[in-house]
Structure formats: structure tokens, C-alpha cells
A and B are shown apart, each in its own frame.
Chain A
Amino acid sequence: MPDPHGDVARFRAYMAAFNRHDYGELVDYYDPNILLVIGNGTELRGRQAIVDFYRNVNDATTRTIEVLDAFSDGVMLAAELQSEFLALRDAPDFTSGPMARGDRLYLNSFAYYDIGSDRRFVRIRSAVFRREWRRAASGQPE
């Protein structure tokens, strides 16, 4: 039975787990056959592929996500997210562009989460609305 309010509460708990890098808890929110599609064209299928991807991202950077808004109709949840990436070391191959240690990248993005019958996410898609770099060397936004 659709539970829009419950979906939003679960989504916020999911994001809290994400920010803690609690991968063990994270996978429980994903359908085993989940599809993640990021606006840059990256597609990942399955829980493990997603966790491996985020482990890799979080190896060179820390990513903190703030939920600016989230609402659900019981079938799909829409969210506006503010992500901050902080480079812990030089990351020349970072997915959004090279980062030097101390650089920060802020992404404002819109995301959709398709919700399965067991309330797990079956598909996640996101698109970047605004992107802002703050380089450690200059301290100024780009």
C-alpha cells in the first residue's frame, strides 16, 4: 500500500546512512536489481555495483548530501539534493573533473527514486541543476 510519508521518512534515513558511509545499511534500501542512472551517463545495475561506486568516490573525497526537499506519491519520490564533495587528496580522475586536495564541489541536483512494492528503490536517476567549484588554491567559487 502506498505510503508517501513513510517513503520520505525512509528516504531521509537512507541519506543519513549514506552520509555515515554505512554501506551495510545502505544496500537494504536497494532492490537487488536496482538501476542507478546519473546524468553524466553512468549506469550501474545491482546493489554491489552501486556500493562499489560510492566506495570509490568516497575513497578520494567525502560526500555529504543534504536533503533540501523530498516528496512522494507512493510510487515515485522526487528530491532536491545539495551535495558537497571535499577532496581528501588529489583526485585527477574524479568523475566530475579533476580535484586537488582541499577542493570542494557543490552540486544541486534533482533526483527521482522509483519505489518497489516492498518500498525499496528499484531505480534512481539524478540530474545536476547547478554545479559550483570552490578551489582550495583560490578559495573563490568558479
Chain B
Amino acid sequence: MSRPPNRRDVIAGGGALLAMGPALARAEVPMQPGTRPWFEAYIAAFNAHDYPRFSAYYAPNVRFFGQAATLEGAQAVVEFYRRVHARIDENVELLSFVSGAPSRVAAEIRTTLIAREDWPDFPTGALLRGQRRQSINFAMYDIADGRFTRIRSARFQRLPNA
């Protein structure tokens, strides 16, 4: 697995940014672990199903306590999402973010699931093909050495099916 982007990556790319003009250079932000831009890049990679990029945020022994699974290890988390994404379109949206950098961040996330096929034994409840399910979850991410070591999600609300 590759490593998550950090400040050095951004500085290394700084020359190219400056060549593009000051406005774009000002728009760039340091990708320090635990900051909102760093976390937003994780969310973007997740929504793009960019497994190498989003799994780079996971420590090898990450502990994952999600709504649909409890897992240990980066590989197990990636395999879980590959299985889910083969049958469900999943999109996550960052609603709120609070940084306790460098060791912890909190995120309010709206998750939208759209089943591409029937999944009667989906862990959070049976899904029918085409069914849309939304929830808002409060998640805590423990961070060490720039990677998530523990991810915990608590259900705040399940939204009415749209």
C-alpha cells in the first residue's frame, strides 16, 4: 500500500504550482495528517474507489468498528469495501470535521447506499436492488504516524429512504 500524502509531497509539488500562478499556489494547503484537507483527500479517494490511495491512510493493524463490520488490519478493511462496492454504490459526504490533531479527528458523515442488487443479509438490514439508504454517523479516528490506527462509527440518525 502506498503512503498517505503529507506536507513533503505538497512542498515537492510547490514549484509546479508556482509556475501555474499565485492564485493556484495560494489555493494549495499543506496535507498535514489530522487536518481537514488531509481528511477530505481520504474521503475523495474513498468515493472514487481508489483503494490504494484511501487504504494508505490505514495503519497495517488498524482496528475498524463500522456500522456493517468490525475488522482488524488494513487489508481486511479494503477487502470488505471491495465486497461492498461490488454490490452497492456508496457515497460518503463530510458534514462536520473537528481536528484533535495530531492524534485524533472527529467527523460527521452522511453515508448514502444504493443497492445494485438484492442483498437480503446486508449487516445493517436487507437491501433490495435500487433501494437507497442514508444515515448520519459520528466517527472518531485515532491517528499515529499519520495513519488511522482505530476507526469507530456511531449511528446518529438513519434518514428516511428517498
Contact = CB atoms under 8 A, between A and B. Distances in A.
Interface of A: 39, 41, 69, 71-73, 76-78, 80, 109-112, 125-129
A125 B100 contact: no
B140 A125 contact: no
A80 B108 contact: no
Given A39-B157, A110-B138, A69 B98 contact: no
B155 A77 contact: no
Given A69-B104, A110-B138, A112-B138, A78 B154 contact: no
B99 interface: yes
Contacts of B104: 69, 71
B61 interface: no
Contact of A78 (B65, B106, B137, B153): B106
Contacts, number: 52
A39 B154 contact: yes
Interface in B62-119: 65, 96, 98-100, 104, 106, 108
B151 to A, nearest CB: 11
Nearest to B95: A112
Given A69-B104, A80-B140, A110-B140, A125 B98 contact: no
B99 A71 contact: yes
A125 B156 contact: yes
Contacts of A127: 137-138, 154-156
Given A71-B99, A73-B99, A80-B140, A128 B154 contact: yes
